[in-house]
Structure 1
């Protein structure tokens, strides 16, 4: 099957962001060249990060569940063009799936944006067995299909929404800012439903060799190719989602692992303090996985090969996700009274961060502080009502035994790879 194309642009519609601003969200899509199927389409309020692009790979490779509010015709078991019974026998997740293609590509063609050529994205592709092919420089025709797909989304989807910006004044209302009413999350829900309709729509670029005059739908072309190439289920687990996260290499010091003046530590690190990692060519440093949206924990690959969660030492003091941008803001504006006491300085920074979050929550923060926290939490992490209960073996109830070993109690909306795996 020809390689899917992968690209990002701004959507031609205004959305209401969490900080009260009206702006155009960023849309990242992956288009299958062979079927013209839109395998993944995700909206982000701000610039797409490498971790967002990496997790898009998971969306391409697993079935999309049909929402209860959708018409029954959008379910795969109601789509006449798809061999649902045969596919469901191979992959039980297709039983309640939406009627849109599922593809694990061999190759992805990307532009040369730093997100798609980053180590995080290429490592995620390697984990899933996908090769990455950058588009030739200064060759806009190399990704003509994905560019035309952006045009189709703007023409067939965006122009029917309030807040549509259009390509010129003749194609939009007199006051688009007044018309805009959807949040980014609401637009994503609408886009997800529209995408299923899109795959039922005949495409002039899709022709069957035996019926050259008849334009096929992306679903019909996918069904024809599945009959030839087959369907291979890709059951992604919580461990896979941790593997898709960005990677950095750090030393384990007697105090733990230090990243940007934040210390991550747990008793599990005791045998490895001051010791080099067994990975050759990394100067003795250890493999660390992290999510840029929530830096309150990291995951380290210990000699057993598993990724183990290590919490920030002040994690219980800061109960909301924050990113490095927020942390650098706190460091810039905090007063460091004792340059010799790094532990006290880190504690003071954690307290300043907690006070900032409290001001925002109570409505007493400045506009700059509100915007800062809004950007930090645009990608919410799964939350629970109360901290998880621990057994004597320090495992968390409800998590699979084969997953990464959590280092401490969670319950403050921390990134949970098992929750991520359950979404797809």
Structure 2
């Protein structure tokens, strides 16, 4: 058991991580399992920046996701800004000079965490699990769980999304996540998938909040906006 962090405020602390998707995607004729790099605000649980790559991530998607998180003008924002602290693991792709120099220039404190210790960045780890159960499980080519066992890997691969369409789905889900008031706590498994595919968040932030989008968006395809 681990202690609970004290309440904080918007942009007080962010967490960042990579997650490899549990579905097969068609990237220029090759079936790959893409990676997502994202930043999340631990106080508001808003995803501030996202980048999607077909191969193993490097410092480039980290910088792309960081730029999407910091810049708040269109097509980015409104979530994001400049955090006080960023919690990340000690992977070589998170701590190269290109990334640490940019964070130092903004006055951001980097809290590099021990390897193989997910509990110090529990918010982004929860986001990874929610994405798997709510987004990846609803898409063709999913390779985990009973549905994939019935279909088989080959059957799931035949209907795999293109990498561009998958990126659009990730951005649409990110928009929905940032619109819903808080997402995975009361949803799990099949019910979570049904709610997402039908476009019904748990509740909206305000009566004037726009409804979530469940289809592909015409915005960026490689590094997405923060909301």
Under a length normalisation based on structure 1, what TM-score does the superposition of the two structures give?
Answer: 0.39
> What is the Cα deviation at residue 36 of structure 1?
0.7
Could you tell me which residue of structure 1 aligns to residue 65 of structure 2?
A: 56
Instruction: Tell me: CA distance 1:218–1:110, structure 2 relative to 1, closer, same or farther (3 Å).
Output: farther
Equivalent residue in structure 1 for 2:156, among 176, 192, 196: 176
Equivalent residue in structure 2 for 1:16, among 17, 20, 26: 26
Describe the SS at the equivalent of 1:12: coil
Describe the SS at the equivalent of 1:4: strand
- Aligned residue-pair number: 178
Instruction: Tell me: CA distance 1:161–1:54, structure 2 relative to 1, closer, same or farther (3 Å).
Output: same
Instruction: Tell me: CA distance 1:179–1:10, structure 2 relative to 1, closer, same or farther (3 Å).
Output: same
User: CA contact under 8 A between 1:51 and 1:121: conserved in structure 2?
Assistant: no
Give the RMSD, CA atoms, in angstroms.
2.7
> What is the Cα deviation at residue 10 of structure 1?
0.5
User: CA contact under 8 A between 1:37 and 1:218: conserved in structure 2?
Assistant: no
Tell which structure's C-alpha radius of gyration is larger: 1
1:8-407 alignment, distance < 5 Å: 8-18=18-28, 20-63=29-72, 65=74, 101-166=79-144, 168=145, 170-172=146-148, 174=151, 175-180=155-160, 182-203=161-182
- Residue 7 (1) aligns with residue 17 (2): yes
Describe the SS at the equivalent of 2:13: coil
> What is the Cα deviation at residue 42 of structure 1?
1.4
Instruction: Tell me: CA distance 1:187–1:205, structure 2 relative to 1, closer, same or farther (3 Å).
Output: closer
Partners of 1:217 and 1:142 in 2: CA distance: 29
Partners of 2:204 and 2:130 in 1: CA distance: 14
> What is the Cα deviation at residue 218 of structure 1?
9.2
Instruction: Tell me: CA distance 1:13–1:204, structure 2 relative to 1, closer, same or farther (3 Å).
Output: closer
Partners of 2:181 and 2:205 in 1: CA distance: 9
Ranked by relative contact order (alpha carbons within 8 Å, sequence separation 6 or more), the top structure is 2
Partners of 1:11 and 1:205 in 2: CA distance: 18
Partners of 2:204 and 2:119 in 1: CA distance: 22
Instruction: Tell me: CA distance 1:130–1:219, structure 2 relative to 1, closer, same or farther (3 Å).
Output: farther
Please give the per-residue CA displacement for 1:240-280, whole angstroms capped at 9, x wherever unaligned: xxxxxxxxxxxxxxxxxxxxxxxxxxxxxxxxxxxxxxxxx
Instruction: Tell me: CA distance 1:135–1:217, structure 2 relative to 1, closer, same or farther (3 Å).
Output: farther
Please give the per-residue CA displacement for 1:341-394, whole angstroms capped at 9, x wherever unaligned: xxxxxxxxxxxxxxxxxxxxxxxxxxxxxxxxxxxxxx7xxxxxxxxxxxxxxx
Partners of 1:40 and 1:142 in 2: CA distance: 20
Describe the SS at the equivalent of 1:28: strand
User: CA contact under 8 A between 2:37 and 2:61: conserved in structure 1?
Assistant: no
Partners of 1:217 and 1:58 in 2: CA distance: 29
Could you tell me which residue of structure 2 aligns to residue 89 of structure 1?
A: none
User: CA contact under 8 A between 2:27 and 2:54: conserved in structure 1?
Assistant: yes
Partners of 1:28 and 1:140 in 2: CA distance: 16
Partners of 1:154 and 1:119 in 2: CA distance: 31
Please give the per-residue CA displacement for 1:149-179, whole angstroms capped at 9, x wherever unaligned: 011111111111111122x3x1435021112
User: CA contact under 8 A between 1:125 and 1:131: conserved in structure 2?
Assistant: yes
- Unpaired runs of 5+ residues, structure 1, are 67-96, 207-215, 221-378, 380-419
